[in-house]
Amino acid sequence: MYEKSVLDNGLRIVSHRMPGMKSVSIGVWIATGSRFESERNSGIIHFLEHLFFKGTGKRSAKRLKEDIEGIGGTFNGFTSEEITCFLVKVPGRHFALGVDVLSDMILNPLLKPEDIEKERMVICEEIKMYMDLPMHYVHDLLNQLFWPAHPLGRFISGTIETVSGIDRERLIKYKIRHFHPKNIVLAACGDLNHTQLVKTAERRFSVSAKFKKNIFKKAIVSQVMPRTNFFFKETEQTHIALGVHALKREHPTRHALALLNIILGANMSSRLFNEVREKRGLAYDIHSSVQKYRDTGAFVVSAGVENGKLAQATDVILEELKKVKRKEVRPAEFRRAKEYYTGQLLMALEDTMSHMLWLGESMVSLNKTKTVKEVLAQIEKVEIGDLKGVADRLFRTGHLSFACIGPVKDRQIKKIKQKLSLG
């Protein structure tokens, strides 16, 4: 189903031909992210991501965009804790140009001093904007509680102080260290031929250099009591994010946690949506999610609630988490969760971009791919009792963290702290 090759310089190539598609989605994945940064360099990979769009020795920033958009394509990039990716979606007949543009951006960025200074200001404004969005910023506050004094607890974009101190020399040094062919995966899905893709990659990614393996600081969970952060701000809603430490990316019971997440808060038929929004009208948006890293993870519930009903909403959320510990989920609910999980996966993989993201992330994170058949078989093996087992293991008072942004008063803080329990 998936074709793989490795170039002599170590660059890994993985592709999936999707007959009938007119597009091809291509991603260059680098196994580096914010957790590989020192505190002094916090935000440096996100800084580089911005600068890679500012031009190369062959293409100006304007031409980079025109070369892709001029053929009807789109391109973008993103940085996470463990991965950096640059991607394009273009008509299949232009796949070679897509590879050429991506390789040019990554291997030959100019990193001009004037662009660095300009983008430094842009990123500082981006950080300020993000901090003005409490529904997003509250998650960063929660991560600080989960992983204090650890790279996973820092902002991916860094801080204004760290970004202001990063110079061109450090940017170049970080790029040389991390953007090495052995640390890169080229993934593509859609209207393409793998042999042609490999030949194109051989021409565009022919560079080679001495490689030093990237390492990161492991996350050690030592939390034994609830942690809280009440951030006072005059907002129309109070935004909360609460959660517990969870499972690493490849944990044997990860699919059970995924199903539990669906039942609790991943869609509009979930328990939290029904209890918090539909029955009580305490929030417009309420959902749960799972964060997965190489060595750790988190289960998170977030919501924007009416200022005066913060304690009530928190009580309802905690009660729903306790329920899945006390009693197994209903068989019909379990079946619906499985159908939602598999259905969402299958529908996503019909799209060339979504399929490329799935394939590329697996290859760069795990150095392997899984067929859809294999994943569906793993999901099918999950039994109803496994969900309660995961809840019993993860939903513990000592692992609970709670972050909040809003006009919170002392009496509300005291009341919530007293009730932060999953016993």
- Between CA 151 and CA 143 the distance in angstroms is 10
Task: Give 264-296 pLDDT, tens digit per residue.
Answer: 999 999 999 999 999 999 999 999 999 999 999
Given the structure tokens 């799935």, which residue do they identify? Answer: 358
Q: Residues 212, 41: contact at Cβ < 8 Å?
A: no
Q: Answer left, alpha or beta for residue 245, where phi above 0 means left and psi between -120 and 50 means alpha.
A: beta
Task: Dig out the tokens for 184 from the structure.
Answer: 């890169």
Catalytic residue among 3, 37, 39, 49: 49
Instruction: Check whether 221 has a pLDDT greater than 90.
Output: no
Please provide the size of the chain in residues. 423
> Could you tell me if 277 and 414 lie in one domain?
yes
At 186 the pLDDT is 98
Last residue of a domain, one of 169, 204, 239: 204
Comparing CA positions, the residue from 39, 10, 15, 66 lying closest to residue 217 is 39
> Could you tell me if 110 and 175 lie in one domain?
yes
DSSP single-letter state for residue 153: G
Tell whether 170 is covered by a domain.
yes
Angle (CA) 119-123-125 rounded to 5° is 115
* Cα-based distances in Å from 212 to 141, 177, 215: 33, 7, 9
Q: Give the CATH number of the domain where residue 123 resides.
A: 3.30.830.10
Last residue of a domain, one of 146, 171, 204: 204
The domain of 121 spans 3-204
Tell whether 38 is covered by a domain.
yes
> Could you tell me if 51 and 200 lie in one domain?
yes
Task: Give 343-394 pLDDT, tens digit per residue.
Answer: 999 999 999 999 999 999 999 999 999 999 999 999 999 999 999 999 999 9
When divided into structural domains, the chain yields a total of 2
> Could you tell me if 235 and 174 lie in one domain?
no
The reply to whether 49 belongs to the active site is yes
